[in-house]
């Protein structure tokens, strides 16, 4: 099927114009053509949207090169083919330099169809390239707008550390007024880092994995002060896998780091206050009962070791240790003569002693510990089978920390001297918890305790009444 083609023919002879149209028809086109011979007619037709212009070089009023220039001055891109009876090589070359698509002689019109087809194809390629370039410019403009407008610092560096691109946010982060100032102040990416070895580690990681996420380091601002940054980056590589450049994003987290450091200092101060409070409470109980001197400390040490051996978290281990230090604070409510009485206690006196876990709870519950210290102290004489006191709890009703403390408490108490009996010894104490494993005492806590002593764990000097 013939291809429609709108043709503007610049020719002073009708017969020659008809011959051009005939040749186009033979080449597979369906030409709709208009002939003009003067400059005025030519200019009037230019704006009507022709697909191709065929122009004789020599016309009565002007020539083909002038016609080409008039078209170009109007910003039009129409394939322009010169057709002439005689045209020298120099003139033909000049026409092509000025933008003519092709030239041919009137006695060789057989190549007209091919020349026009090629000119139309070249125009399509030009238009496609122009569209691609326009899209690229638009994409670059969007990228630049995004790059400059992002509230976080963005950069691009070469593999050898040269700074290729930065945005305004990064400049501000470094204490500089604009991106140009960054290039003036810094030459290489290594200069950002307070500790150069950080950059070396960063580069080793990104070359191995292709990405770096949430990398925290100290950067140096232009005035020499340090800031903390969190950096994420990726390596952009070519088809051979070679790194072309690094693209990265940086957040200034100095305020977060300083806030965390202050939080840690506050926690440490609170921890020291809690420790002081705990030691004071422990000393209060031991002051009233010299036989319990050291008992709570030894129980706390053993209970913490058991908890650690069982794989509890550091926070749980610390909670167990604190509970151990103060678990007998309630004995301060028991008359001193009962606590230090030699020989067996009467049932009434034993009942008073057995009130000390609840007394401990009432004292400790008023202190806001970060661990369940009051409940652990309340339950450390409960037993798995429900035979303990003060509430007769059983199994999982008893806190794990209390079950651990119970094992440590019994081992230390049986190993220590009492006013009413001599020390029974460590072997007897370990045999007791081994025999009552799963009956009175938590199996995991018993196993951990036995492993500790089997591998050399030592109690402090045993002494006191439980």
248, 378: one domain: no
Q: By the 8 A CB rule, do 460 and 294 touch?
A: yes
Verify that 267 and 239 share a domain, yes or no: no
Among the listed residues 419, 420, 415, 418, the one whose alpha carbon sits nearest the alpha carbon of residue 433: 415
Which of residues 208, 224, 252 is at a domain's end?
Answer: 252
Are residue 241 and residue 314 in the same domain, yes or no?
no
Q: What is the CATH number for 233?
A: 3.30.450.20
Distance between alpha carbon 281 and the CA centroid of its chain, in Å? 46
Within this chain, do residues 97 and 159 fall inside the same structural domain, yes or no?
A: no
Is 466 a domain residue? no
Whether residues 413 and 296 fall in one domain = yes
Q: Is residue 459, in this structure, part of any structural domain at all?
A: no
On whether both 263 and 404 belong to a single domain, the answer is yes
Pairing mode, if any, of strands 226-237 and 211-220? antiparallel
CATH value at residue 294: 1.10.3210.10
- Does residue 211 lie in a domain region? yes
Maximum distance among all Cα pairs of the chain, rounded to whole angstroms: 144
226 with 266, same domain: the answer is no
| Domain end (from 211, 232, 252) | 252
User: Per the domain annotation, does 313 fall within a domain?
Assistant: yes
Could you tell me which residues come within 8 angstroms of residue 112 by beta carbon, excluding any fewer than 6 positions away? 20, 23, 24, 27, 54, 81, 83, 104
| Residue 239: both structure tokens together | 């088809």
pLDDT of residue 150: 53
Residue 140 lies in a domain: no
pLDDT computed for residue 7 by the predictor: 93
Does residue 248 sit in the same domain as residue 264?
Answer: no
CATH number of the domain to which 16 belongs: 3.40.50.2300
Torsion over CA: 254, 259, 264, 269 (sign): positive
Give the number of other CB atoms < 10 A from CB of residue 224: 8
Judge whether 464 lies within some domain. no
- Pair 227, 242 in one domain: yes
pLDDT at residue 176 in the model: 92
343 shares a domain with 305: yes
Pair (121, 202) in one structural domain: no
Question: Which strand (E) or helix (H) includes residue 207?
Answer: helix 196-209
Q: Residue 325 falls within a domain, yes or no?
A: yes
Q: What range does the domain containing 376 cover?
A: 259-454
Domain count of the fold of the chain: 3
Give residue 465's pLDDT: 37
What does the buried/exposed string (b/e) look like for 386-400 if buried means 16 or more CB atoms within 10 Å of the residue's CB? Answer: eebebeebeeeebbb
**Burial of 308 per CB tally in 10 Å (0-12, 13-18, 19+):** middle
254 φ, ψ to 5°?
-55, -45
**Shared-domain flag, residues 340 and 229:** no
Domain termination residue (choose one: 200, 218, 252): 252
Residue 462 lies in a domain: no
pLDDT for res 450: 95
Specify the pLDDT at position 339.
64
Q: Are 36 and 9 in contact, with CB atoms under 8 Å apart?
A: yes
pLDDT given at position 12 = 87
Q: In a structure prediction context, what are the per-residue pLDDT tens digits for the chain, which is 466 residues long?
A: 788 999 999 988 899 889 999 989 998 999 999 999 888 899 999 888 899 999 888 887 788 888 999 999 998 989 999 888 776 777 778 888 888 888 888 878 888 888 899 988 988 888 888 887 777 666 665 555 545 555 688 889 999 989 998 888 889 889 999 888 988 999 888 898 999 888 889 989 998 999 999 899 999 999 999 999 999 999 999 888 899 999 998 988 888 888 888 878 766 776 676 666 666 666 666 665 655 657 888 888 999 999 999 999 999 999 999 898 888 777 777 766 666 666 677 777 777 777 888 888 888 888 888 889 899 999 999 999 999 999 999 999 999 999 999 999 999 888 875 655 556 788 898 999 999 999 999 999 999 999 999 998 988 744 333 3
């Amino acid at each position: 099927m013939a291809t429609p083609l709108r043709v503007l023919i610049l020719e002073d002879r009708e017969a020659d114009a008809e011959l051009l149209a005939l040749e186009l028809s033979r080449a597979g086109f369906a030409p709709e053509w208009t002939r003009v011979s003067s400059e005025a007619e030519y200019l009037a037709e230019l704006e009507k949207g022709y697909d191709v212009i065929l122009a004789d070089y020599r016309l009565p009023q002007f020539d083909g090169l002038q016609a080409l220039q008039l078209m170009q001055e109007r910003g039009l891109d129409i394939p322009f083919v010169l057709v002439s009876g005689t045209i020298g090589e120099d003139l033909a070359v000049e026409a092509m330099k000025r933008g003519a698509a092709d030239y041919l002689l009137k006695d060789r019109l057989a190549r007209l169809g091919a020349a026009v087809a090629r000119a139309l194809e070249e125009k399509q390629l030009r238009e496609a390239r122009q569209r691609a370039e326009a899209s690229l410019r638009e994409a670059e403009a969007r990228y630049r707008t995004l790059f400059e407008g992002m509230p976080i610092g963005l950069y691009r560096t070469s593999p050898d550390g040269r700074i290729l691109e930065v945005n305004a946010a990064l400049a501000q982060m470094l204490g500089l007024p604009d991106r140009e100032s960054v290039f003036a102040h810094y030459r290489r990416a290594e200069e950002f880092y307070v500790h150069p070895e950080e950059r070396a580690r960063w580069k080793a990681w990104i070359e191995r994995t292709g990405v770096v996420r949430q990398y925290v380091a100290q950067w140096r601002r232009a005035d020499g002060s340090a800031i903390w940054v969190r950096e994420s980056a990726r390596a952009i590589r070519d088809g051979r896998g070679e790194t072309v450049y690094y693209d990265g994003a940086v957040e200034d987290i100095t305020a977060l780091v300083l806030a965390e450091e202050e939080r840690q200092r506050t926690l440490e101060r609170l921890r020291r206050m809690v420790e002081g409070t705990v030691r004071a409470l422990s000393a209060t109980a031991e002051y009233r009962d010299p036989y319990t001197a050291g008992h709570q400390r030894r129980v706390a040490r053993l209970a913490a070791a058991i908890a650690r051996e069982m794989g509890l978290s550091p926070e749980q281990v610390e909670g167990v240790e604190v509970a151990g230090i103060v678990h007998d604070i309630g004995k301060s409510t028991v008359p001193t003569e009962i606590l230090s009485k030699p020989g067996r206690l009467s049932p009434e006196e034993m009942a008073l002693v057995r009130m000390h876990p609840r007394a401990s709870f009432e004292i400790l519950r008023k202190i806001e510990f970060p661990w369940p210290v009051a409940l652990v102290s309340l339950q450390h004489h409960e037993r798995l089978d429900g035979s303990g006191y003060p509430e007769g709890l059983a199994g999982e009703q008893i806190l794990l920390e209390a079950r651990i403390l119970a094992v440590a408490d019994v081992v230390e108490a049986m190993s220590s001297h009492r006013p009413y009996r001599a020390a029974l010894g460590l072997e007897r104490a370990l045999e007791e918890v081994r025999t009552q494993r799963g009956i009175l005492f938590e199996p995991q806590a018993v196993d951990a305790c036995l492993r500790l002593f089997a591998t050399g764990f030592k109690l402090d000097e045993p002494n006191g009444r439980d």
